[in-house]
Amino acid sequence: VLCFLFVLQKTIRPMWAVRGLHKSAVEVLKCPAPEDTVTASFGKFISEIKPQHLSSVVLHRSKRMVLDSIGVGVIGSTTDVFELALQHCQHMYTSDDISSVYGRSGTRLSPTLAAFVNGVATHSMDFDDTWHPATHPSGAVLPAVLALSDMMPANRKPSGLDFLLAFNVGIEIQGRLMRFSNEAHNIPKRFHPPSVVGTMGSAAACARLLSLDHSQCSHALAIAASLSGAPMANAATQSKPLHIGNASRLGLEAALLASRGLEASPLVLDAVAGVAGFSAFYEDYVPQPLESPRGDSHMFLLEEQDIGFKRFPAHLGMHWVADAAASVHKLLVGVGPGTVSPAQIQDIQLRVPKSKYINRPFPESEHEARHSFQFNACSALLDGEVTVQSFTPSAMSRPELLDLLSRVHMEHPHDNPANFNRMYGEVQVTLAGGDILKGRCDTFYGHWRNPLTNESLRKKFRNNAGTVLPSEKVERLIDVVDELDKHENCTSLLSQLQ
């Protein structure tokens, strides 16, 4: 039908004035040719991008993302929600021993199910990376690329450089789509971003790894759009990690379906009046074509926008209040007996952005605690830091912590927007004697403006991966990822994940 319309456009154009065609019909006839659409430009980019377009900066940053994502996935394999997802896949589906599962020696699943459970593991503690505009980019892409690489025959495994190219394509597509919306720059209210752009990124990465042609790549994205979207109401529950698992799994499925010839809308990324495509997820969506690389150069978004890595497993917004509260802790320890006691404190005032799903005065689960300004501020105030252990039942139920939580009040200053690039966290503590102590954080250590050093990132990885893997395998993974772009195939990486 589309082809007929485009031919028809050339045939009848001189007759418009004479025949007086209805305006809506004229607009249909003026639709761009398929090769000129936003959707087609994305497909063309995915199919034409080459390893030589990866700069040294992009390679360096993306390898840091891969290492961190594996680490949080491995420690995530110890969580209850991961165990539930794994048991579901093992009990409900026929065994298909192809793709490895994080941290579970000898356990393999079908590629799509492995992508699912490893994605769940990655987000099970909310420890995975965060980008701007706001999303968790790696967790939706890496498990799918790993599972697909496992699926490929031994003599056709992708090289380390091809693996990194596919991964970077998945990151790039997410960033490009989110930049079409101002709404996407803020802390989300409607859809959880990884369930939207993450699915698209996974599909793009897998389409690149499968070497699909530009039309198949466009269809993979359009199929993925039909498999996208999860509501923010499930934040701070066991279901939130499923968003990342599904994004990884369903993006892989979209690419595999496109490889078999399944087709979808050729205009899914375009702004078509009256028929929502990807614009259904963002009300102010204004798409632009994505230019294909010219020569040997392409500026990936990762080159100009670095990634945020978390030092402890909680929503990114928690890192501002934790650092502000930790600075007050140092002051309290300096004027007191060396520890912080609730008896010292009369009132705690938090000045943070207004965001309903991370305003949780008395969290009742670890997942709610990871999404509570109040909990993370009080934990840092009491202990001087927030760690993995802060979210254990014993730490959460401490009487002194509950006592501090009862003294917290929140303010939402107008100059503190719900935006990870512009927000701040401020903690003001009024002591029992009336003195006031203040701490403020504008950019925490780990934010893209103040990135973790390689030493800090590797320390985080060792702590996370070392909970499950032997130390020699942990060190081997660090070396393999660091040299991944030089490996002839990615088997060296795939063999170290269990």
pLDDT computed for residue 337 by the predictor? 59
pLDDT computed for residue 92 by the predictor? 87
434: phi > 0 → left, psi -120 to 50 → alpha, else beta; which?
left
pLDDT computed for residue 34 by the predictor? 60
List the one residue out of 327, 348, 357 whose CA is nearest residue 418: 357
Q: How far is Cα 460 from Cα 473, in angstroms, rounded to an integer?
A: 15
The pTM of this model reads 0.91
Domains present along the chain, CATH in parentheses: 38-310+485-495 (1.10.4100.10), 316-441 (3.30.1330.120)
Cα angle 230, 176, 415 (rounded to 5 degrees) comes to: 75
List phi, psi (to 5°) of 350.
-105, 130
- Token pair for 12: 């009848």
Q: How far is Cα 40 from Cα 44, in angstroms, rounded to an integer?
A: 6
Segments of the chain scoring below 50 in pLDDT: 1-30
Cα dist. 35→8, 169, 211, 213, 301 in Å? Answer: 17, 20, 19, 13, 24
pLDDT computed for residue 186 by the predictor? 86
pLDDT computed for residue 188 by the predictor? 86
Q: Are 156 and 490 a contacting pair, CB within 8 Å? A: no
pLDDT computed for residue 335 by the predictor? 59
Cβ burial, residue 215 (10 Å; 0-12/13-18/19+): middle
pLDDT computed for residue 8 by the predictor? 32
Q: Are strands 345-351 and 408-411 parallel, antiparallel or unpaired?
A: parallel
* pLDDT tens digits, one per residue of 177-231: 999 999 888 888 899 999 999 999 999 999 999 999 999 999 999 999 999 999 9
